[in-house]
Structure 1
C-alpha cells in the first residue's frame, strides 16, 4: 500500500539517537527543517550498516540521530532544487550521514540532498528492500569504477570476461559488487564463507573460495592462470590486502578498498573510496574531506549510473533480517552485528513497527 503523504509534517518524531557510551536509544526529537537543495523524506524503512555503530561509538555525539540507509516518500521539497528533479509523493531511497547531527535514517523523517545520494526506488522494489540500496550499491560503484578506471559497466558490458576478485562477497557491498561485475561481463571470483557459496552463485559469482583457506591466494592465482589484476576488498581488515596481493600474477594489480591500508607490495596499487564523499558535503570524520565542485559533478554521475543500472531490472536485493520493534530494536541490531552474527543478510527496520509510531 502506498503510504500517505502528510503535507504538513509534525514538529516532533521518534528516532534512534546516540545515547550514553555510544549506545542507541529511542527518543523523541524535532523533525528536521528542509533547507536549500534538500528534501524532507517520510522514512518507511531503514537498513543498518557497520558505520552506524562505529559512528555511534567513535564520535559519541549524544542526541544525534542515527542511521544512514533509508527508503521513503518525498514529503517536502526545499528551495533551490532544480524543477522536475524530485516531486512530492515520490518513492526514493538513498543515504544520509547519520550519527553526527539532527538528521538520520533511523527516524520518522529525515532531511537529505535532493540530488546526491538519492535515487528513485526501482520498479517492483518494496521499501524494505530499497532501504538497503544506498551505501551498499553506491560503495560498490565506487569500488568498481572510481577505484578502477578501466573496467566495463553493465551499460556497456565486455565480451571478454577478464577476471576480478571480490574479497568478502557476502557483505552487503559484496552482494551488489558481485551483481554489478557480472552484469558488466566480468569473470567474478569471490571469497566468502562456504555456507554462502550457493547463494552467491545465484547472485552472479562464477567461482567461490573459502576466505579461511590458508591456500586461498594460491588457488585464486591458479584459477586465473596468474592473470588477475583487478580486485575489490570489501573487508579491508585482517591482512586481506596481503591475501589479495598474493593472488595477483607477476605484474601485480590494483585493489579498490573500503578501509584504508597501505599497498601490501611494490607492484600492487590501492585506492580507498568512501560513500560519504558522494554527499557533496565537507566533513572531518572518519577522515577530512573537502567537497569540490568537480567531485560533486562526479557524484551526480555516480547516482545517475546507479539509477540506470537498477533500471535494467536485473539487480536483486540481498536477504534481509527485519527486527521486530522498528527503531526500538536498533541497539539489538548493533549488538547482533558487533557479535559477528551478520552474514549474507541486511538488518532492516520498518519505522511503523516502532512502539508509538503510526502509519
Structure 2
C-alpha cells in the first residue's frame, strides 16, 4: 500500500520548494504510479514561473515521468493495467497537486500512458512523452506522405534539443533528407542521429546557406527552439514557393506564403481520434527499436535538485541532454 505522504517539488511563496505533501488517490479510471524517474522540459520552468502566485501555492511541478503502477482505481477494464507494470507518460504539472516531480502521481489508466521500450531504463523512459509527441505533432513522422514524403527536404532547427533529436530520427524513418542546425560541438552528435546536412546556427549567413543547400525549394521546417530570432530564421529558410513551419510558441508569419502552425502537446491530449492517432503512431515507432533516447543528465539529489535544474535550463545551459531526476537519489526530509 502506498504511503499517505511523499516528497515533491512544489510552488510556495519562496518559489520552487522541496518538501512533504499528500500522496494523491486514484479516482475512477486512474492509476497510482510510483515515480522512478522524471524528465525536465522547457515548459516546466515556464509553467512553474507562471504558477508563482498565491492561489497556486502547493501545486506540484513536472510533466514527464516513468514508474511502476502500484494501485488501480475503480472502473479499470480487466487486463488494461496491472500492479507492477512499468509505464511512462505525461501529466499536467504546475496546475494542481499532481505533478511528475514527486514520488507518486495519478494518471489516466489508458490515455496518455506509454510503453517503455525494451532495453530502456526508467531514466530513459521518463522522456517518452513531451519531446517525442511534440516531434510527431510537428509532422516529422507522418506516414504515407502527407505533408512529408520520400526524398523531400525538411529543416529541423535545433537538432540537439530534446525534441530535435527525436524529430531527426522520425524524419529519417519517413524517408526525408534532414537539414538541421547545431553548435559545432554537437555536429557529429546530430549526424549520428541521422542528419544529412548540419549548419552552425551561429553563422550569420546560415539562412542563405540553407536556401542554397535546398535550391530555394525548402517547403517544410520545424523550429524546436522557437525563441529569439529563430522563428524569423526558419521562415526565412523556406524557399521561394513558400511552405509550412511548425513552431512551439505562437508566432505570426512575416511571409504570406509561409504558413506557421503553433504546436503544443496538450492540444491533442484528448480522448478523440486525433489524440489516439498520435499515441498509436508513437507506439508503432518506438516498438521498432530504431529510436535512440536523448542522453540523460541525472541530477545528483533527485527531487531536491529540481529548483537548481529548472534554473539551469532557464539560463540556457542545457545542451544535447535531458535533465532527469532519479527519485531514489532524493534525500530524506
Query: Do both proteins adopt the same fold according to a TM-score greater than 0.5, normalized to the shorter chain?
Result: yes
Distance 1:109 1:217 in 2: 46
Correspondences of 1:257-336 after superposition (within 5 Å): 257-280=247-270, 296-336=272-312
Distance 1:47 1:344 in 2: 14
Label 1:167 to 1:12 Cα distance change in 2 as closer, same or farther (>3 A).
same
Query: How far does residue 301 in structure 1 lie from its aligned partner after superposition?
Result: 1.7
Query: How far does residue 104 in structure 1 lie from its aligned partner after superposition?
Result: 0.6
Q: Does 1:344 align with 2:315?
A: no
- Tell me the alpha carbon deviations over residues 82-121 of structure 1, each in whole angstroms, 9 at most, x when there is no partner: 4333222111111111011011111110011222222111
Distance 1:55 1:179 in 2: 28
Q: Does 1:189 align with 2:179?
A: yes
Partner residue of 1:220?
Answer: 210
3-state SS of 1:343 partner: coil
Are the counterparts in 1 of residues 141 and 173 from structure 2 also a CA contact under 8 Å?
Answer: no
3-state SS of 2:139 partner: helix
Q: Structure 2: state its 5+ residue gaps.
A: none
3-state SS of 2:259 partner: strand
Name which of 32, 56, 61 aligns with 2:48.
56
Q: More displaced, 60-69 or 121-130?
A: 60-69
- Tell me the alpha carbon deviations over residues 35-94 of structure 1, each in whole angstroms, 9 at most, x when there is no partner: 122211110000111111111111222111111110001112223334333222111111
Query: How far does residue 144 in structure 1 lie from its aligned partner after superposition?
Result: 1.3
- Tell me the alpha carbon deviations over residues 188-236 of structure 1, each in whole angstroms, 9 at most, x when there is no partner: 1001111111101111111101111111111111111122100011111
3-state SS of 1:144 partner: coil
Count of paired positions = 329
Query: How far does residue 278 in structure 1 lie from its aligned partner after superposition?
Result: 3.3
Distance 2:311 2:290 in 1: 33
Distance 1:236 1:335 in 2: 19
Partner residue of 2:137?
Answer: 142
Distance 2:254 2:300 in 1: 43
Give TM-score, length-normalised by structure 1. Answer: 0.88
Label 1:114 to 1:146 Cα distance change in 2 as closer, same or farther (>3 A).
farther
Query: How far does residue 297 in structure 1 lie from its aligned partner after superposition?
Result: 2.5
Partner residue of 1:252?
Answer: 242
3-state SS of 2:181 partner: strand
Distance 1:89 1:304 in 2: 23
Label 1:205 to 1:256 Cα distance change in 2 as closer, same or farther (>3 A).
same
Distance 1:244 1:341 in 2: 22
Are the counterparts in 1 of residues 114 and 128 from structure 2 also a CA contact under 8 Å?
Answer: no
Q: Structure 1: state its 5+ residue gaps.
A: 1-7, 153-157, 281-292
Are the counterparts in 1 of residues 253 and 260 from structure 2 also a CA contact under 8 Å?
Answer: yes
